[in-house]
A and B are shown apart, each in its own frame.
Chain A
Amino acid sequence: MQQPLCYNLRMKRFCLALFALSLLFGVSGPIEAAGPIKIGLTLGLSGKYSEMSDMQMKGLKLWEKEVNSKGGILGKSVQVIIYDDKSDTRVARSLYENLLSKDRVDLVFGPYSSQITEAILPVTEKNGYPVLVSGASADKLWEKGYKYVFGTYTPASKYAVGFLEMLVAQDLNDIAIVYADDLFSTDIASGTRKWAERFGLRTLLYEGFKDTSNFDELARTVRAANVQVLIVCGHFDASVALRLSLKKIGWYPRAYFASVGPTMQAFYDRLKKDVENVFSSSQWERLITKPFPGCCEFHERFVKAYKKEPSYHAATAYAAGQILEAAVKRAGSLDRDKVRDMLASMEAMSIMGRYGVDRTGKQIKHFNLIIQWQNGRKEVVWPDVLRTAKPVFR
């Protein structure tokens, strides 16, 4: 129906006034920056963390591909920018400064390892970037008063809790704890000793070592302590070296637990049949009982994409993507303070289980699995309800 002329004129004036007001007061809302959402991080793609970092990169790239195939986040595609920090703290710190100032990324993930994470946190904290830490678990990272650091891993101090519980059940009360002299390994060691005391176990040996230490000597020291259980708190190479030293001296405890390494296929590849009965702690495993949504699907897609088994490092990196995606969606914005507040307060479910942090940002909802190599296979042996095999003690 034709409107009267005066009505049209009035409408025109009204629209013009509205437009002017919207210009004046910014009613149109914040204008989103053009281009994809850029999320940056560094990984030790070369150097001592290359095995784990490669897995993390693959996990993140898989998440990037999948989230973009579903339309991205807040209507924008996602671009994950990854630099090689060469497993070096100084390189990582410099690269994070570049990510923030040159790449001008919207958000960041944490790098791999507690030491490197510790090195880059002052940069992100100073610039108000929330960091979802997807490759580090040293408790001390959350004891420095940072406000923008959020964990996804079970903290290092709780890595061996499930294993210690099994020792109680098996009446294995005398343990030795040896640990590398890095932030992450010392946190595992001190946490394990504390929990061992709670469980009523006796820590007969508590000794540190360096990467350059003589592991044969260390193995003999452990044997001399007359313990039933050896817990090694260190990284991949130390876990392998000490296992080989035990073989060399011809002594093996009733149980051998290594904090990092045994979850990797590379561990098996290095030790072959000597992996047998080695325990470890894992942030994630493929569980056919499907306790967490998307767990098996991730495994399938990963294998399909990369033609190899994912370690928990890949899964936790993928899960970090899922958690950040949920935080941004719930915040409804890329505003870093809003995302930070959401990460501090929300609970979420990912392929690695629950996400939820305490007031310091430390992860408190997720729990680790205990795995053991049995007959050349990695089996989940704790918790009981999720286990794929019973634990074996010599």
Chain B
Amino acid sequence: MAGCPQNSKAGIQMKEFRYRILNSLAFRIIFPVVATVMVMGFVLYLFVLSSISDFAYKTIKDAFLDMSREIYSVCDRGLNELLVAGAATDEKAIRIKKALTIGMIEDLLKQYNFEGSITGENNEELLSCCFLPDLQKAVKKVAKTSSVESLVHQGKKYYVYQMRFDPWEWHILFVRSAGEYSFLINKVRYAYMATGSVLLITTLALLYYLNRFIKFPLNSITEPVKRGELPEYRGIYEFEYLSDTIGHMMVEKEKLMEQIIQERKLKGINVLASGVAHNFNNILVGVLGYISLARMKLQNAKAAGKPVQGEFVDEILDNLERAGASADKAGSLARELSVFSKKMAREGSHFASVSINTIIAELNELLLNTFPKNIEIVVSLTDEDPLIEGDPSQLEQALLNVCVNSRDAMSDGGKLTIETSLASIANKDPIYPYIQPGDYAVVKIFDTGKGIDNETMVHIFEPFFTTKPVDKGTGLGLATVYTTIRAHHGHVRVESNPGEGSAFTILLPVLKQS
């Protein structure tokens, strides 16, 4: 949006950053490895932890069953001793035996790290071993006879077992904290934390390795290539080979390009020479024709002894004037060629800091006064008013040439739009092959004319190439545009389809703020 270029710029940069990260070699290699290891680690973690939890539960259950057997055995032995001593009905002996049995159960519970309680036939408490009263209440709610139950009390998990010793009508409860086994799970957690750390270190080491042995060599090759220099990497054999091959290809390409340029130059000279020859020939035909005609008329008059006077003189003068007009045309062509050749020589003596918006505004004035009224002219200028370094008259002439081209393409009227904006070219862009990365002022001129076919597009910037009638143009207008923009270190690009109008995009480097 033209209203918020900063946001647009930041968005483009973010997109570019994301693109670079996601497509980086390190990401593409490490991400699948790390993701796979993480998923496997997580699944293994769940599996091992659940196994350990199951093991812990089974161990706890076994411990409770063992304890219940032990306690029952203690009670049973106490009762048997009473019976053997014939004291089964001796109230004092029973009191003593029960008290001693309770003491033995207390020792057992303490020895194996249980909490517990014994309640008698009238629900009186006979023993409370390390049992906090509120926990005891909570335990009584969940306890089931001969079954290991669990409960969470004040954030801690407990296992509970209840048993009965019917001869004395004792309800025996015992409890153990699940935390007794948490060390196992904690050990696994620590092991996984250690594994995680190792994984992290390995990942970092891998990143370093990739950076050191892959990214760095690749950068050593790609960076000079981006700058148009030959890569000269030395180190890892494969990358050396790649570097040498690319270097070799670049040299070959350079040679090929030189060859092509040479050929293009020759072709250009051919086109220029033939154009000059053709134009001058046409002009000379006119000059020579009229002079010959005048001479022939004079020779005939001399032979006939006809006096040179009256209308005859007017005829001769008319012929000479026409020859002179043709000679003037030749002079004009020669001057135009002179201007073109000066631009080709990149004359930069008039370069100064200029506002592209100002140039467009002046151009707009000119267009409004000179273009047919059936062509609507729309101008949209960027608020940032970019400054560039250049010759304002050359630039205005170049932009005028583009507009004239558009005008000629809209003989039945249409719309001509001129926009200015800013663009940032981060890398070598294949769309703009001749320009360096940096900030550019963009002038976009598009029309609703008849458009340009592919055949014409190939030759559009060649000198003397024209699709107009012979007397309508010299074929130097767009060639002048091209040479002017290149002389300003910019680039011009044309996009068009027959019947869909044309769009000329001109990029000019923005003057750097010092």
What is A's interface to B at a CB cutoff of 8 Å? Answer: 158, 161, 164-165, 168-169, 171, 195, 198-200, 358-360, 362, 364
Query: Which chain B residues numbered 77 to 100 have a C-beta less than 8 Å away from chain A?
Result: 92, 95-96, 98-100
Which of B33-41, B102-110, B240-248, B287-295 faces chain A? B102-110
Minimum Cβ distance to chain B for residue A355 (Å): 15
List of A residues within 8 angstroms of B127 by Cβ: 198
Q: Which of chain B's residues has its CB closest to A200's CB?
A: B95
List of B residues within 8 angstroms of A200 by Cβ: 95, 99
Inter-subunit contact A198/B113 (CB<8 Å) = no
What are 9 A-B contacts defined by CB distance under 8 Å?
A: A164-B99, A165-B99, A195-B99, A195-B103, A198-B99, A198-B126, A199-B95, A358-B110, A358-B111
Inter-subunit contact A169/B92 (CB<8 Å) = yes
List of B residues within 8 angstroms of A362 by Cβ: 110
List of A residues within 8 angstroms of B99 by Cβ: 164-165, 168, 195, 198-200
Inter-subunit contact B96/A168 (CB<8 Å) = yes
Inter-subunit contact B103/A165 (CB<8 Å) = no
Nearest 7 Cβ contacts at the A-B interface: A198-B99, A358-B111, A199-B99, A200-B95, A165-B96, A168-B92, A168-B96
List of B residues within 8 angstroms of A198 by Cβ: 98-99, 102-103, 126-127
List of B residues within 8 angstroms of A169 by Cβ: 92, 96
List of A residues within 8 angstroms of B98 by Cβ: 198
Minimum Cβ distance to chain A for residue B60 (Å): 17
List of A residues within 8 angstroms of B126 by Cβ: 198
List of B residues within 8 angstroms of A164 by Cβ: 99
Minimum Cβ distance to chain A for residue B180 (Å): 12
Minimum Cβ distance to chain B for residue A356 (Å): 10
What is B's interface to A at a CB cutoff of 8 Å? Answer: 92, 95-96, 98-100, 102-103, 107, 110-113, 126-127
Inter-subunit contact B107/A358 (CB<8 Å) = yes
List of B residues within 8 angstroms of A195 by Cβ: 99, 103
Given A169-B92, A200-B95, also A161-B103 (CB < 8 A): yes
Inter-subunit contact B111/A168 (CB<8 Å) = no
Minimum Cβ distance to chain A for residue B370 (Å): 103
Inter-subunit contact B96/A199 (CB<8 Å) = yes
Among A195, A198, A359, max chain B CB count under 10 A is at A198
Beyond the given pairs A161-B103, A168-B99, A198-B103, 14 more chain A to chain B contacts, judged by CB atoms under 8 angstroms and listed by A's residue number, are A158-B103, A165-B99, A168-B96, A169-B92, A169-B96, A171-B92, A195-B99, A198-B99, A198-B102, A200-B99, A358-B111, A359-B111, A364-B107, A364-B111
Query: Chain B interface mostly helix, strand, loop or mixed?
Result: helix
Q: How far is the CA of A195 from the CA of B102 in the complex (A)?
A: 9
Q: Which of chain B's residues has its CB closest to A199's CB?
A: B99
Minimum Cβ distance to chain A for residue B116 (Å): 15
List of A residues within 8 angstroms of B96 by Cβ: 165, 168-169, 199
Minimum Cβ distance to chain B for residue A170 (Å): 9
Q: How far is the CA of A169 from the CA of B111 in the complex (A)?
A: 30
Minimum Cβ distance to chain B for residue A161 (Å): 7
Minimum Cβ distance to chain A for residue B58 (Å): 21
Q: How far is the CA of A195 from the CA of B127 in the complex (A)?
A: 10
Q: How far is the CA of A359 from the CA of B127 in the complex (A)?
A: 21
Minimum Cβ distance to chain B for residue A168 (Å): 5
Minimum Cβ distance to chain B for residue A354 (Å): 14
Partner among B95, B103, B107, B113 whose Cβ is within 8 Å of the Cβ of A168: B95
List of A residues within 8 angstroms of B112 by Cβ: 359
List of B residues within 8 angstroms of A158 by Cβ: 103
Q: How far is the CA of A171 from the CA of B90 in the complex (A)?
A: 13
Q: How far is the CA of A360 from the CA of B107 in the complex (A)?
A: 11
Q: How far is the CA of A171 from the CA of B91 in the complex (A)?
A: 11
Q: How far is the CA of A158 from the CA of B103 in the complex (A)?
A: 9
Inter-subunit contact A359/B113 (CB<8 Å) = yes
Minimum Cβ distance to chain A for residue B129 (Å): 11
Q: How far is the CA of A359 from the CA of B100 in the complex (A)?
A: 21
Q: How far is the CA of A360 from the CA of B113 in the complex (A)?
A: 10
Q: Which of chain A's residues has its CB closest to B102's CB?
A: A198
Q: Which of chain A's residues has its CB closest to B104's CB?
A: A364
Q: How far is the CA of A357 from the CA of B113 in the complex (A)?
A: 14
Q: Which of chain A's residues has its CB closest to B113's CB?
A: A359
Minimum Cβ distance to chain A for residue B322 (Å): 119
Minimum Cβ distance to chain B for residue A346 (Å): 15
List of A residues within 8 angstroms of B103 by Cβ: 158, 161, 195, 198
List of A residues within 8 angstroms of B107 by Cβ: 358, 364
Minimum Cβ distance to chain A for residue B66 (Å): 15
Q: How far is the CA of A195 from the CA of B101 in the complex (A)?
A: 11
Q: Which of chain B's residues has its CB closest to A169's CB?
A: B92
Q: How far is the CA of A199 from the CA of B99 in the complex (A)?
A: 5
List of A residues within 8 angstroms of B110 by Cβ: 358, 360, 362
Q: How far is the CA of A165 from the CA of B98 in the complex (A)?
A: 11
Minimum Cβ distance to chain B for residue A27 (Å): 34
Q: How far is the CA of A200 from the CA of B91 in the complex (A)?
A: 11
Minimum Cβ distance to chain A for residue B344 (Å): 87
Q: How far is the CA of A362 from the CA of B112 in the complex (A)?
A: 13
Minimum Cβ distance to chain A for residue B117 (Å): 13
List of B residues within 8 angstroms of A171 by Cβ: 92
Minimum Cβ distance to chain A for residue B464 (Å): 95
Minimum Cβ distance to chain A for residue B98 (Å): 8
